Structure 1
């Protein structure tokens, strides 16, 4: 006899039973208001696994008494969609939960669109992928997008206690005693994934024989063996990965050593050395740059050492680099300078290369006037001579605006201004 998992049995029947996501379903919030007014619109629920996307959909259906159907965009066919649409035509509004909506192909999408506009089908799409990146604009324009978040520990505790006490859908008929440290492990190891926590709890309860007192005593070791610890880092091609590397760079840019080490630890835990190496190289030259060029060089050496060592030892040079970059003075003047030059170029400001700078190594160049008036700087005192290098049309352009956040760029700024003055240019 097939028995549904505990997480399935404990799904909320009304919007009031939803645990977490109070920014959407709490009293006065948008989904709560939709349900109260029975003015539902199609939506996409986006967030990590086990955070309540399906629960919210079933709770909406339970609160409004509309028919509720579930399909998977990847595995169910266009014919399956047609059956749901025919049901809506015959019996009224149907709420359709479409899991993995980011995998909806064009044929299914084209079939669905007119039915969404008519309001017969209320689509609730569920996805772990960023809909602004992975879902077709035609679907996005007909839905509201709501992000759901991993559940907090106190929210997880409410759901777990409810499951332990419910005698009909939960484990209330079993004489379960769970130690405090075991419950804490259950609530934290799954990183906000309630489905994993509930199913792990059920596995622990049903695989542990009663003790002499007739109780099912769940200890920390039992919970550790029954619940798979969920990684803090998503798949390297997923949205969570990009969020992590973004937070990593922004923490270093903001000079927060502890935050940067935290995000480095997440990436190390995922074993993603290529992403760490690439991101640290970018950070060194984009965010520290001319304020501390030796730190950039040492970062590259640390990356090379980590690549030779591999994990776990590779974490050591990486930590050195991250701490130094965090504590270093910062300057983004180099990236701002090249971006300014590229921007002017894209706007059509470039002009002709001055004749005296053109290639003069071939026979006949002198007849064209190429290179004939070029002044070789090493023939002059201090190996410098005043002459024009930019095209005449943009000869007064300035792209580099030095900062004074470290001794290196402060010195560069002084030299840069002296050279501009000698050229007769204004800053």
Structure 2
């Protein structure tokens, strides 16, 4: 019976237009939409975090093309299951095979699949949470296109919740259900772009909550907190507390207030919001500390790696180390200021021709075009440096980097930068 299947399974899209999020792949005119429209599907690998729609994309592609669709797991399903899919492909012509955990595909299974991928009888859609450029065998990788599937936005999750609550055929539309605004906001936010977790939490809340006297299942913040096992930061009617705490977290580190930064991180930890802490710390390390203390940024990356490996609650320990060091480090935003100034020039069209002597001179006929002629190779000079114009003529006197004296390290960079700028032969 359909009711025995999880809500997340029942709400999988039947065609590509129904996919929630991933508009960089499935919106009209984008690559997967074009493949489906042209009926020119090729094997692919979808990689990204759990619950972001890899299986849904595969299911929707199959539904949009009317091809047979099968799901196997590279780690647990045997070569025999692959052989059955290949036999089905002989009969039906083409089978779309979603192969989950494709990074765990063994050599014998890979060798069996390759000729079927070459013929096109099996269109492989590999799904993985691992970086395919590192974990996928080159033989498979060379025969597939690789697409990144990104975490869903809060708007995407909210859209999917609305569908689930109103869909009478596959969703919860036949039941009377109300979600308080605070509960809905928490459901869209606490699952950090994982739609499967959001729908699982919603379904558990509905099934475990008795209807009120009027027959309505009323879901408040406390119920949703329990069902997704994540606490809200505070119960605020505007739903801004989450972003307010994250903002205060970064500004406290930027302002070198160790105690305030630890306090705000504790609030995020209590809410189980490890992803927000990780993203914010990485940004802070390079945006606010930057060249004033590059070691602090490296240490922050190491702490985040450890935190993600060990998970909560132990993750709090390396994260606390990182926060304290970042707070007490000298601060410099010279790097972000420099790149933003350069980007502003480029976005305004304020750039000129690359000097001819800097252009690629490795192809036949380049010298006839004046490419590379007059280029001074720095390694041919005593100090590995020679004065030479690298910027286009119209920008030759432009300076984007404005170093600070916030630390001995950046002060040394400043001295070297100014020495090179002012060098006279």
Distance 2:123 2:293 in 1: 52
Match of 1:71 in 2: 72
Q: Assess if the C-alpha contact under 8 Å between 2:332 and 2:404 holds in 1.
A: no
Q: State the 1:203 CA deviation.
A: 0.7
Distance 1:330 1:257, change over 3 A: farther
Distance 1:414 1:169, change over 3 A: closer
User: Does 2:410 match 1:406?
Assistant: no
Match of 1:325 in 2: 329
Q: Assess if the C-alpha contact under 8 Å between 1:25 and 1:32 holds in 2.
A: yes
Distance 1:197 1:411 in 2: 49
Match of 2:147 in 1: 146
Distance 1:144 1:404 in 2: 42
Distance 1:35 1:410, change over 3 A: closer
Distance 2:170 2:411 in 1: 72
Match of 2:239 in 1: none
The correspondence of residues 9-408 of structure 1 with structure 2, limited to 5 A, is 9-229=10-230, 287-288=291-292, 318-325=322-329, 327-328=331-332, 396-397=382-383, 405-406=404-405, 408=408
Distance 2:62 2:155 in 1: 26
Q: State the 1:145 CA deviation.
A: 0.5
Distance 1:212 1:326, change over 3 A: farther
1:327 alignment partner, SS class? coil
Q: Assess if the C-alpha contact under 8 Å between 1:175 and 1:216 holds in 2.
A: yes
Q: Deviations over 1:54-109 (max 9, x none)?
A: 00101011110000000000000111101101110122100000001111111111
Q: State the 1:119 CA deviation.
A: 0.5
Distance 1:327 1:397 in 2: 31
Distance 2:150 2:256 in 1: 26
Q: Assess if the C-alpha contact under 8 Å between 2:291 and 2:409 holds in 1.
A: no
Q: State the 1:257 CA deviation.
A: 8.6
Distance 1:153 1:108 in 2: 39
Q: Mark the runs of 5 or more structure 1 residues left unpaired by the alignment.
A: 231-250, 272-279, 304-309, 332-393, 417-425
Q: State the 1:288 CA deviation.
A: 3.8
Q: Assess if the C-alpha contact under 8 Å between 2:292 and 2:331 holds in 1.
A: no
Distance 1:41 1:316, change over 3 A: closer
Distance 1:13 1:326, change over 3 A: farther
1:171 alignment partner, SS class? coil
Q: State the 1:214 CA deviation.
A: 1.3
Q: State the 1:396 CA deviation.
A: 4.2
Q: State the 1:153 CA deviation.
A: 1.3
Q: State the 1:155 CA deviation.
A: 1.4
Distance 1:404 1:106, change over 3 A: same
Match of 2:397 in 1: none
Q: Assess if the C-alpha contact under 8 Å between 2:404 and 2:411 holds in 1.
A: no
Q: Assess if the C-alpha contact under 8 Å between 1:329 and 1:406 holds in 2.
A: no
Distance 1:21 1:256, change over 3 A: farther
Q: TM-score, normalised by structure 1?
A: 0.62
Q: TM-score, normalised by structure 2?
A: 0.63
Q: State the 1:323 CA deviation.
A: 3.2
Q: State the 1:195 CA deviation.
A: 0.8
Distance 1:82 1:288, change over 3 A: same
Q: State the 1:199 CA deviation.
A: 1.2
Q: Mark the runs of 5 or more structure 2 residues left unpaired by the alignment.
A: 232-249, 276-283, 304-313, 336-379, 386-401, 417-423
1:124 alignment partner, SS class? strand
Match of 2:4 in 1: 3
Q: Assess if the C-alpha contact under 8 Å between 1:179 and 1:218 holds in 2.
A: yes
Q: State the 1:409 CA deviation.
A: 6.1
Q: Assess if the C-alpha contact under 8 Å between 1:203 and 1:226 holds in 2.
A: yes
